[in-house]
Each structure stands twice: as structure tokens, then as C-alpha cells.
Amino acid sequence: MSFWGRFFQNRSALIGGALIIILFGSSILAPLLSPYKPDEVNLREVLSPPSRQHPLGTDELGRDVLSRILWGGRVSLLVGFVAVGISTLVGIFFGALAGYYGRWVDSLIMRFVDIMLCFPTFFLILAVIAFLEATLWNIMAIIGLTSWMGVTRLVRAEFLSLKERDFVLAARSIGASSFRIIFHHILPNALGPVFVSAILGMGNAILVESALSFLGIGIQPPSASWGNMLTSGKDYLEVAWWLSLFPGLAILITVLGFNLLGEGLKDALNPRLNDKSV
């Protein structure tokens, strides 16, 4: 059975993919779908419950919650893509070097990975942000540069297996350079697991950004972010439950969608799983 056949038979993967498509569509079309501007203040409708005019209610400044959630999705997707892109590129670079060259190069890189893994990632991010301005680009860079270790280990394991295959030995026998062997022969065959790891990492990056914004050291108001919407909502839990419920559901559905999609891709890329012909 082909990759797409296995993928479309996986119900969880289809649900995750549908959730991600809806997220992408609503975020890209936020200027058209949002009924109000995300920072439009209306003091006459402060803490209004969900209604026809405001389907998800308003916040403490009378801003429309639905509009802010739609625009906050753009921030979350941007953080996910950039942070995962940085961590994936760094992880591929170090993992390829460690797996291909081995010996002291492998030992040096993997000991550095072990040192990085000794520090709790979230607290490492907090420590770095304490010395830098909490801008969107700084947060994306910090998340990416503190989450590449898993990709490095994954790419290293793939390279250790693939570099002994016949097609690599054949390329080496005809005088192909190490650069060509790494990037033309081995890396394309190692990208499947890396792609799955990147999809799963998207959900984690969005969750980290939301947590940072919730603590007040992430995306700063008045910019719309699901995390800082939760922060403002926690002070009004007894009188305005919608301020915390809907941003929380947005985070939950987004992370769940990426996790379901990643798990489905992992199963589809492995023909020995869920394949009756094996």
C-alpha cells in the first residue's frame, strides 16, 4: 500500500489534517473573517457575553474575542514555523556531521547535546528571555535555538544507518565528495522522520509561546496572542468565563491537530505499521 493510501486510512491523521487546514485558513483570512479589528476598544460593551454581535463575547476593554483569536492564530503559526524551522536546520546540520563523520566529531557533538538536555528547556528559555527584549522574533529564535537536540539525535541515527547502505558505498567508490554524499544521497532519505518531528514540534512551539505569553514575558499587549488573552482572562473567571475558555480551546485544538497529524504521518511513513500485506 502506498504512503497516501496508509495516510488516508488513518482517521486520526485526517482529523488532525482537517484541524490544521481550518487553522491555516482562518489565520490567513483573519482580515476578512474577523468582524472587528483585534485592538478596537469599545468601552460600552466591556465584558459582554457571547451574542450575535460578538459570537465569543468581549474582553475587559470591549475588544471582540473572536477577532483577537483569529489574529492570535497568525502569531501562533508564525512562531511555530520559524521556531521549528530554526531547530530543524540546526538539528540537521549537527546530526549530519555527527552521523556521517563519527569518531571525535560524533563524540564532541553528542556530548554538547547531552549538556543542553541537562537543562530544562522551558527554564532555559526563561533565563535567556530575562536578558533579551521579549519581542516576537527574539521569542521565535530562542525557542528554535533551545529545541534542536531531538532533531540532532534523530538525524544522527538515520545517518549512522544510511551511510553503510550500498548506494552510499557506490557513491563513495566513484569519488563523490562528502558534501555531495551528505546532501544529495543520505539527507533526502533521512528527511521522512525529520518531517514528522517538525510537525510534532510545531505544536510544542505554539504551546511554549502561549505559556510564555501567559506568564507575561512573551508577546506583549496590545498584540493579540492566545497566551496573553488567557492572562487577561484569569482575572475575570467568575464574571467572564469566555475570556479563558475560547483561547484555551484554540490552543488545545491547535496542538491536538499537529499531534494527530504528526502521528498519522509517522504511521504512514512506516509501511510495517497498519499494513496487512506485511
* Per-residue pLDDT tens over the stretch 176-234: 788 888 888 888 888 888 888 899 888 888 888 888 888 877 777 777 888 888 888 88
R_g of the chain computed on alpha carbons: 22
* Helix intervals (H) in 10-119: 11-28, 30-33, 65-101, 103-118
Determine, yes or no, domain membership for 277.
Answer: no
Cα–Cα distances (Å) from 197 to 190, 191, 264, in that order, read 12, 10, 12
CA-nearest of 33, 119, 84, 67 to 229 is 67
Low-confidence winner among 10-14, 93-97, 141-145, 244-248 (lowest mean pLDDT)? 10-14
Taking the model in full, what pTM does it have? Answer: 0.84
Output the pLDDT for position 69: 92
For residue 88, tell me if it sits in a domain.
yes
Terminal alpha carbon distance of the chain: 10
pLDDT value of position 40: 85
Can you give the CATH number for the domain in which 189 is found?
Answer: 1.10.3720.10
Q: Which three cell numbers stand for residue 118?
A: 541537562
Report the range of poorest mean pLDDT among 104-113, 117-126, 144-153, 154-163.
117-126
Note whether residue 275 is domain-resident. Answer: no
Q: Which domain holds residue 189?
A: 3-33+58-269
Number of structural domains the chain divides into? 1
Please give the grid coordinates belonging to residue 232. Answer: 487577561
Domain assignment of residue 274, yes or no: no
Would you say residue 52 lies in a domain?
A: no
Chain segment 28-58, per-residue pLDDT in tens: 898 888 888 888 888 888 888 888 888 888 8
For residue 50, being part of any structural domain is answered with no
